[in-house]
Structure 1
């Protein structure tokens, strides 16, 4: 989707009064396609993308005709100049992805995009509920658990770890932090076992997995009560590892270290309701960073909303801040923003 401030031509509707997050724009577009076409589009998305769009669909209420028209015009404007260029050119797509992502990362995407979406046994776990994955690996050796946890998306991995016992959680997380590479044959054997169980597809492509950064990513998605206790336990066993993990974690206060353009891009993706709740528990420096990257009128309205909001439960503030952190990390992984402070390596 193109930026909402971009002119849409003489026949386009005015920019909607409310800000439409991009995930909601995607949901509106899919709902206008009909079930069959929407399902075909969703088939090419990853589990987290499907989940985010699905939640947006379920939460949509009172979508106006102007909103729908605006989203459709945004889409037509975005793809209007692309019609016919490179369509069906598998060689071009393969070369482009490999150049952009490297051989290993591109391989799994190429298989999914060009071959028809077959997933490996390990990839199948990404589509499952965290508790179901936990039940599958609960009685496996901790090293196997660590490999699986390292392979999954950090937020899903954090939910799985939360269901495990405290001692098991500590053992697995320390193994994740210590894990840098794994022999391809060992990863393939694990993948084959899971494929037999799930009737999956092709072989795993990469042997690099885990590490301190991965451990930090997973810790970012844990509830603060679990995260704090686990970090303290790691400190008791290996203080240096705990320090390295802590240094790489990205928390809500680190938003103040993001450059202004990045904050502005992030704010376009965050709903005002979530932002108000998240800022109720934020430091003055973070609030000032947010206010300074809004128009004067928008900043005044946000401050009025904060004052009118009243007391908010700590759990609600933490959940809202975690939502914003998740969006920030997704945008950073997509190259749309650069995270500052902890959690980001220097380029």
Structure 2
């Protein structure tokens, strides 16, 4: 460690306190918090994490003692979320912290084991398969997008497509509808202001984010069903979908980060359905030798089913979405992050 003064507890910034707590809580919760932040906030927190070696052990211990005292010795749950809320306010300000915390608390609540619904998406789909699409839309508004997408993948496709359509057009929710959802899933929407939150959720961007977490084939079939029902709504969703083509629009650095995570045997199948411009973007962002091997495989390799190519593209998209959730890349960003 480089010699020098280490920060005392009172001298710690809000971002440094957040970084200490998130590191203690573990990677899963840290990712859940940071996936809700914009690039500026992520930069402040990750920068603070990188500087933690300059923070004295006493300072770190004091932050964690305060954390444990606020939890009262209990497990991580609503008390932990309240504590995280306070440190986020300190780091990011009241308005931005409340936006992040509101989304995080819904996601954490949806994954709490003691809640009144099954966290497993397959079981949740079985429980909800007989409900109306509007009710499913309300549920999607309360679930993390990954969980909502997984649940939809286990539902009959016509029902799932209708639920996404209703979710997209969810601009106002009656108190009666909120009460109905609470009666079925009392622990899912147990906050006093749940109705206010629901009234502002939904929309094409949120629907697209859910669809982005589905297999490409399933997502396209659901989009086809929505297209037949409402062309204008379908177009709004498509404008926000993250597709394999969008990967070619990333900056070189971000595309290289994605490619480093992709298994080598998935590149050739994925590029079979890509046009030449997309292929060239991929070739330009890998080593010359790797590009040559891949080009030869595309020229002389055996034919594959289109479903295999679509599956490979979907896997690469999932990797990109995971990296975006971790704050390592920015979706639809063409400029480098500094």
TM-score band w.r.t. shorter chain: 0.5 to 0.7
User: Is 1:96 the counterpart of 2:77 in the alignment?
Assistant: no
Q: What are the Cα deviations for residues 160-201 of structure 1, in whole angstroms up to 9, with x where unaligned?
A: 3344345433431221110135479965874575355x9x98
- 8 Å contact from structure 2 (residues 226, 234) kept in 1: yes
Greater displacement, 183-192 / 203-212? 183-192
The answer to whether the Cα contact below 8 Å between 2:109 and 2:115 also exists between their aligned partners in 1 is no
1:50-129 mapped onto 2 (5 Å cutoff): 80-81=53-54, 84=57, 86=60, 87-88=63-64, 92=87, 94-96=89-91, 101-107=96-102, 109=104, 128-129=119-120
In structure 1, what is the Cα distance between the partners aligned to 2:105 and 2:146?
A: 24
1:151 aligns with 2:142: yes
8 Å Cα contact 1:131/1:160 also seen in 2: yes
Cα 1:188/1:286, change in 2 over 3 Å: farther
**Do residues 135 (structure 1) and 126 (structure 2) align?**
yes
TM score, norm. by length of structure 2: 0.62
Q: Is the 8 A contact 1:130 1:159 kept in 2?
A: yes
Q: Quote the Cα distance in structure 2 between the aligned partners of 1:327 and 1:240.
A: 30
Structure 2 distance, partners of 1:181, 1:254, is: 32
Structure 2 CA distance, aligned partners of 1:94 and 1:136? 37
Counterparts of 1:149 and 1:119 in 2: how far apart (Å)? Answer: 11
TM-score, normalized by length of structure 1? 0.61
Q: Which residue does the alignment assign to 1:258?
A: 250
Matched, 1:317 2:312: no
Corresponding residue of 1:289: 281
Would the alpha carbon gap of residues 188 and 44 (structure 1) be closer, same or farther in structure 2, given more than 3 Å must change?
farther
- Structure 2 residue matching 1:268: 3-state secondary structure: helix
The answer on whether the counterparts of 1:122 and 1:194 sit within 8 Å (CA) in structure 2 is no
319-328 vs 271-280, greater mean Cα deviation: 271-280
Q: Matches of 2:113 and 2:206 in 1, distance apart?
A: 17
User: What pairs with 1:214-253 in structure 2 (closer than 5 Å)?
Assistant: 214-253=206-245
Question: Which stretches in structure 2 are left out of the alignment for 5+ residues?
Answer: 1-24, 33-49, 67-82, 334-338
Find 2:323's aligned residue among 306, 331, 336: 331
Provide closer, same or farther for how the CA distance between residues 173 and 123 of structure 1 changes in structure 2, counting only shifts above 3 A.
farther
| Partner residue in 2 for 1:13 | none
- Equivalent residues of 2:168, 2:206 under 8 A apart: yes
In the alignment, the residues of structure 1 paired with residue 296 and residue 228 of structure 2 have an alpha-carbon distance, to the nearest angstrom, of: 45
SS at match of 1:294: coil
Question: Match for residue 25 of structure 1?
Answer: none
Kindly provide the CA deviation profile for residues 203-232 of structure 1, in whole angstroms up to 9, marking residues without a partner as x: 777443221112222333444554344333
Shift of 1:292: 0.9
Cα pair 1:180 1:209 within 8 Å, conserved: yes
Distance 2:168 2:322 in 1: 22
List gaps (5 residues or longer) in structure 1. Answer: 1-39, 48-76, 342-347
Count of matched residue pairs? 272
Counterpart in the other structure of 1:212 = 204
Deviations 1:34-88 (A, max 9, x none): xxxxxx84774779xxxxxxxxxxxxxxxxxxxxxxxxxxxxx996555635442
